[in-house]
Amino acid sequence: MASGAPERSAGGVPLHVEPMQQSTSVGAENNDALSELGEEEEIYESETPSESGTEGLTWISWFCSLAGHQYFAEVAEDFIEDDFNLTGLNFLVPFYKEALEMILDIEPQEDSLKIPDVSIVESSAELLYGLIHQRYIITRQGMQQMVDKFEEGHFGVCPRVFCNSQLVLPCGRSDLPGLDTVKLFCPNCLDTYIPPSSRFHGIDGAFFGTTFPHLLLQCYRDLAPSIIAPATTSVSSTPQEDSSPAKDAPMDVSPDASTQPTAKASALTPARLGRKTPHTGIYIPRIYGFRVSEFATSGPRMQWMRLRPHALAELEPR
């Protein structure tokens, strides 16, 4: 063994290290540790949003920007600050006062600081905002926000083939929370469907309520398909049997003068109908090109529920 080389153990670790060599190795280790620490700080700073980017972000904007919250509209703070709009919600939401302060970005008072877990207040704030949202979207301001989201396709389209990608609206089957999740209502086939994405399966249906989609279509008739079927081009064809009706076919919405009731006028007028051309295609099951009879075991059932009249005269006055 050379005289200048340090003695080593069986594992190759030096048994005796000169003081100068030892200080050099320690300094190198410290430099490596400092460089790693600096890299971690850079990574942390890059992942942490800057204060300038979140300075104007409110709780409401943050909540509506979360994944799976695309159905929600941003409720105006002046609507929330009006106590009349929140009547009765304090009986449905635990920690109502603290949840309201969180929604409005108000500094919590000393009593609120005694709550052991902040997540309790966060869940109450989500529940309170959802119930406020149910009332807000049936106002003129809230409905206009939902119309914009509807026209931009934020709610998706109807999964039924013969609705031809009709845009849908979110709705609930109950106005009370905790009973059912949100569903999608199709204005064309008048049926409800489960949202296709699982991220929406946990949204409470009470946050949209049972009134919203139907009231919106009453106020915005240009978005509602008419109950009157478009005029057929062929007389011999079965009404509404064609699966691809003409999109630009004119609608007969004027009642025949000879068939107007004399004793009692119908309350249903063309002005109260939807102004959008409906999609009236109905699936016809066939075997080797022949229609399956309704009396067959696997035959169609209750297709009349999707039929539409071709004129108002076909509807009986109520």
More confident residue, 71 or 283: 71
Q: How much is the pLDDT for 285?
A: 84
- Higher confidence at residue 43 or residue 201? 201
Q: How far is CA 168 from the centre of its chain?
A: 10
Confidence (pLDDT) at 299: 76
> Cα–Cα distances in Å, from 83 out to 90, 111, 123?
11, 21, 21
218-261 residue pLDDT tens: 999 888 887 777 776 443 334 454 444 444 444 444 445 445 55
- Specify whether the CB–CB gap between 225 and 166 falls below 8 A: yes
The per-residue pLDDT for range 109-130, each reduced to its tens digit, is 666 556 667 788 899 999 999 9
In the chain, which residues fall in CATH 2.20.25.20?
59-223
Cα dihedral 198, 202, 206, 210 in deg (nearest 10): 20
> According to the model, what pLDDT value does residue 110 have?
65
Q: What is the pLDDT of residues 49-68, one digit of tens each?
A: 444 445 678 999 999 999 99
pTM for the whole thing? Answer: 0.68
Whether the predicted pLDDT of 214 surpasses 60: yes
What does the pLDDT look like over 2-49, one tens digit per residue? 455 555 555 555 555 454 454 555 455 555 554 554 544 444 343 334
Q: Name the more confident of 9 and 292.
A: 292
Whether CATH 2.20.25.20 fits 59-223 = yes
126 in Cβ contact with 63 (< 8 Å): yes
Quote the strand ranges of the chain, DSSP E: 169-171, 183-185, 192-193, 286-287, 290-291
Two structure tokens written together for 148: 């914009």
